[in-house]
Amino acid sequence: MPDHNFSEPQRQSGVGLVLIFATSLYHIARNLWVIIIYFAFKDLDQRTVFMAGGAILLVLLLSLGYSILYFLNFKFHIDEKNEEFVLQKGVFSTDVINIPFEKIQQVNFRRNILQRIIGVYSVVVETAGSQEKEVEIKALSGEKANALAEKLMARAEEERAEKVEDNQVEAAAAIPPATGKPLPQWEHKVSMFTLVKLGLTSNYLRGVGIIMAFYFTLREQFMFNEELSAQLQEPEAYLTQGGYAFIIFLLLVGMLLTVGETLIKYFGLNLQKYKDTLQVEMGLRNNTRVNLRASRIQLLQVLTNPIQKKMDLYQVNISLASSEDDLDKNQVKIVGLPPGVVKQVKDYFYESGIEENFRISPSKFLLFRKISRGLIPLAVISVFLIFYPQVMFLSWILGVASVYVVLMVVYNYFHYKKLQLGISKEFLIRHSGVWVQKEEYLEIFRLQAVSVSQPLWYKRRGLCKLTFHSAGGDVNFPMVSKAKVQPVLNYLLYKIEVTERAWM
């Protein structure tokens, strides 16, 4: 691979002009779609067609001119003297973004369909605490993109390593180069069949909700016809004329929507473990390639549900350092993994292993509070029926209420039993979930603070709510005995003060 010199300001690949122009046209069409549809379906005279054609030609020329200027003014380089990555962009005003090497967290790749066609990559530089959360260069060749990412991550690692007392520099090659690429230590590809199984066992009721919302929106706007409207207002007639088949149809379409969404989002999901990085690539419409280093991982979650567990399907969510409130935006989700691969991922991120010394359970008052809150809807309905007793039959109400109470109590009981906080010398592990079962792993040295809150009625019972803060998100644990967790809190606060390991 040629040794690319990034010390001098340089532009994107020449074909990037096509991408900029296409993006510009897309934004114009999205903002003017009403006018486009109007002219498409209206019978226009020759003069109007001529004027509309002239306007379209003018817009195309202006858009092309803007795209050329944007392409020419978009430059980037590596400033070794000031130890930063510099990016300049803008047409009417010039923005210069300076990112110190030590602020660079990740350098990832993205590709949409057009970028695949013209053979370019988007290089996304994710940062922490700088003026921009992420900086994107949308059109670089694969070779140049790999070289830039490699140099940026190498310089970022060197800068951070200088601040570590033992001065151990991690390996520089965060992204394997396009040529002469070393073989991965292990690799796992998620098959199409696995993604289909995942989609079928996921929350397909969301797809049903989308269909129902679309259906009733159309009904509200257009009211269909009088015959259909009458059927919709008469449940008995509706059910006798294929209502059950319609419900089954909705469920099937909802499942298909969820399967399709899963296939598009996670198509080609591939994990490759190299010496110092775990490379994750996925996506059909928007292909993303992320390189994860163990030193960047702040919080790790492992999720499954009973059906997926029987099929050996697990999901791993990896939270990176973020300065934003919306931490989901900085989370990498890897789905459809068997238990063996989940263990390999955990072993890479946590070389010391994860062993729990003991667990803490919440107070029984948590179960009491959840059941009490679950009874509030019944109380509201009861008050309503006092004033409107003619609305429903009493026997029907009692039957529905009994089923609701039983299900609500059972659900909250299992929620209470599953909620536990595991403690070890190096880890906090939070267990939770009834249907979607979740385990969250947080290394103690990555803790930034521990919050202890006590509302008035918590205080009277000697209870508190714990919040463990990290750069990758917070881990909450509600309603626990303060006397029981005080020794743990003392230990955690001590570790926060004395640890010398860099948390990112």
Task: Return d(Cα 115, Cα 139) in angstroms, integer.
Answer: 8
Distances (CA, A) of 52 to 27, 32, 48, 64, 96: 19, 13, 6, 18, 38
Per-residue pLDDT at 57 exceeds 50: yes
Beta-strand pair 437-443/449-453: unpaired
**Each residue of 281-319: pLDDT tens digit?**
998 888 888 888 888 888 999 999 999 999 999 999 998
| pLDDT, the chain, mean | 80
**CATH at residue 317:** 2.30.29
Q: What pLDDT band is residue 173 in, cutting at 50, 70 and 90? A: very low
Statement to judge: residues 92 and 219 lie in one domain: no
Statement to judge: residues 247 and 197 lie in one domain: yes
More confident residue, 112 or 30: 112
Task: Return d(Cα 497, Cα 104) in angstroms, integer.
Answer: 25
Number of domains in the chain: 4
Distances (CA, A) of 200 to 251, 256, 262: 11, 8, 9
Most confident of 21-35, 101-115, 206-220: 101-115
Residue 174 resides in a domain: no
Statement to judge: residues 96 and 139 lie in one domain: yes
- Burial class for 151, CB neighbours closer than 10 Å (0-12, 13-18, 19+): buried
Residue 223 resides in a domain: yes
Sheet with 270-273, edge to edge strand ranges: 134-140, 121-127, 104-112, 286-292, 278-282, 270-273, 186-189
Per-residue pLDDT at 34: 67
Per-residue pLDDT at 300: 93
Residue 272 resides in a domain: no
Residue 170 resides in a domain: no
**Each residue of 428-464: pLDDT tens digit?**
999 999 999 999 999 998 888 899 998 888 888 999 9
Per-residue pLDDT at 365: 93
Average pLDDT over residues 211-240: 50
**Each residue of 186-198: pLDDT tens digit?**
999 999 999 998 8
Q: Of 447, 428, 288, nearest to 356 (Cα)?
A: 428
More confident residue, 33 or 66: 66
Beta-strand pair 270-273/84-89: unpaired
> Vertex 149, ends 148 and 153: CA angle to 5°?
120
DSSP secondary structure string for all residues of 392-438: S-HHHHHHHHHHHHHHHHHHHHHHHHH-EEEE-SSEEEEEE-SSSEE
Rounded to the nearest 5 percent, the helix, strand and coil shares of the chain are: 50, 25, 25
Statement to judge: residues 407 and 435 lie in one domain: no
- Burial class for 95, CB neighbours closer than 10 Å (0-12, 13-18, 19+): exposed
**Each residue of 460-490: pLDDT tens digit?**
899 999 999 988 888 999 999 999 899 989 9
Residue 418 · residue 435 · CB < 8 Å: no
Residue 5 resides in a domain: no
Q: What pLDDT band is residue 119 in, cutting at 50, 70 and 90? A: confident
Statement to judge: residues 387 and 354 lie in one domain: no
Average pLDDT over residues 61-69: 90
Per-residue pLDDT at 170: 43
Residue 205 resides in a domain: yes
Per-residue pLDDT at 207 exceeds 70: no
Per-residue pLDDT at 371: 93
**CATH at residue 117:** 2.30.29.30
Statement to judge: residues 135 and 48 lie in one domain: yes
Statement to judge: residues 256 and 318 lie in one domain: no
Residue 268 · residue 284 · CB < 8 Å: yes
Per-residue pLDDT at 391 exceeds 60: no
Domain boundary among 122, 142, 161: 161
Q: What pLDDT band is residue 413 in, cutting at 50, 70 and 90? A: very high
Residues shown for the chain: 504
Q: What pLDDT band is residue 183 in, cutting at 50, 70 and 90? A: confident
Per-residue pLDDT at 429: 94
Q: Of 435, 485, 484, 446, nearest to 468 (Cα)?
A: 446
Average pLDDT over residues 131-157: 82
Statement to judge: residues 43 and 91 lie in one domain: yes
Per-residue pLDDT at 146: 87
Task: Return d(Cα 460, Cα 22) in angstroms, integer.
Answer: 64
Average pLDDT over residues 342-363: 89
Domain boundary among 161, 183, 211: 161
- Burial class for 6, CB neighbours closer than 10 Å (0-12, 13-18, 19+): middle
Statement to judge: residues 110 and 229 lie in one domain: no
Q: Which helix (H) or strand (E) holds 13?
A: none
The DSSP output letter for 503 is -
Residues 6+ apart with CB under 8 A from 35: none
> Vertex 80, ends 74 and 83: CA angle to 5°?
90
Residue 147 resides in a domain: yes
Statement to judge: residues 227 and 370 lie in one domain: no
For residue 338, give its domain range. Answer: 293-361+419-498
Domain boundary among 161, 181, 209: 161
- Would residue 83 be called left, alpha or beta, if left means φ above 0 and alpha means ψ between -120 and 50 degrees? left
Per-residue pLDDT at 317: 94
The proportion of the chain whose per-residue pLDDT surpasses 90, expressed as a percent, equals 30
Statement to judge: residues 38 and 152 lie in one domain: yes
CA 492 to chain centre: 29
More confident residue, 358 or 157: 358
Statement to judge: residues 64 and 112 lie in one domain: yes
Residue 42 resides in a domain: yes
The proportion of the chain whose per-residue pLDDT surpasses 70, expressed as a percent, equals 78
